[in-house]
Amino acid sequence: MRRCCQGVGLPCLFKGVGMAGTRPPRFLLVFDFDETIVDENSDDSVARGRALPEELRQSPRGGSYNEHMRRVLAFLGEQGVRPAELRAVYENIPLSPGMAELFQLLSKHQELFELVLISDANTFGVEAKLRAAGVRSLFRKVFSNPAGFDRRGVLTLGPYHSHKCPRCPANMCKRKILGEYLAERAREDVEFQRVFYVGDGANDFCPAGTLREADVAFPRKGYPMHRLIQESQEKQPGAFPAAVVPWESAAEVARYLQELLRRKC
């Protein structure tokens, strides 16, 4: 006799599946972009090999990184770097190890997983890469800093929003974005049984802190998000309620999700 998921300490993932008139349960899978979906920081990719002036070579300490990148992109545009060249840079950033395998799994189970992307990069670069990788249609929403070309062909960059979170950069709090998205979907009568969060950076630790016991954080192993989770668990056991599954290859995330899907009641 098959054991129910609850028999191994998991909520039933497939309650109601196959019953007439019911819809499969839905799970929210949240992705970061830089050093998560792609294996580099896309801002570094754009600046690599460029003859930047001294004041633009180093990231600001204590200043706004969003404003810094605004100046970098403006300088590149003034130096004649055209939209097609920038698009090619973003399109050619390599995916992180195992990410293609994870997307293949998710493409087969689109009725179960809803995907959103929350990134402190920019909409132009994120959209360009997702389309080049053939996975843009998997994402219901992309949240990133607004970017577009002005009449001169210069890629302009803006802040995503304002917020009062003391932990996050002034232009974006991913915790606020995720909270507002969940509230929006709840108003649309979509309640997710579980939220899965795949990220790497310190700004991913903030939203991951809102995850519940049933949810799962997938921090990239050895990166800031992972270290901050470890530190929080050491300082106050139980302060980070979600399950934590570090990864070096996104194939590990895929295998974890496959195992959950295998445990049908």
Spatial contact of 196 and 215, defined as CB atoms under 8 Å apart: yes
Spatial contact of 159 and 66, defined as CB atoms under 8 Å apart: yes
The reported pLDDT for the residue numbered 26 is 86
Q: Which two tokens stand for residue 83?
A: 């939209």
Q: Does 204 count as an annotated binding residue? A: no
Q: Does 200 count as an annotated binding residue? A: yes
The β-bridge relationship of strands 155-157 and 147-149 is antiparallel
Spatial contact of 95 and 37, defined as CB atoms under 8 Å apart: yes
Q: Does the annotation mark 44 as catalytic?
A: no
Secondary structure in 3-state letters for 6-30: HHHCCCCCCCCCCCCCCCCCCEEEE
For the stretch 37-79, pLDDT in tens is: 999 999 999 999 888 998 898 877 666 889 999 999 999 999 9
Q: Does the annotation mark 204 as catalytic?
A: no
The Cα–Cα gap between 171 and 185 comes to 24
The reported pLDDT for the residue numbered 23 is 66
For the stretch 147-156, pLDDT in tens is: 999 999 899 9
Q: Give the architecture-level CATH label for domain 27-39+94-146+153-263.
A: 3-Layer(aba) Sandwich (3.40)
Q: Does 189 count as an annotated binding residue? A: no
Q: Does 43 count as an annotated binding residue? A: yes
Q: Report, as ranges of residue numbers, the positions in the chain whose pLDDT lies below 70.
A: 1-25, 61-63, 264-265
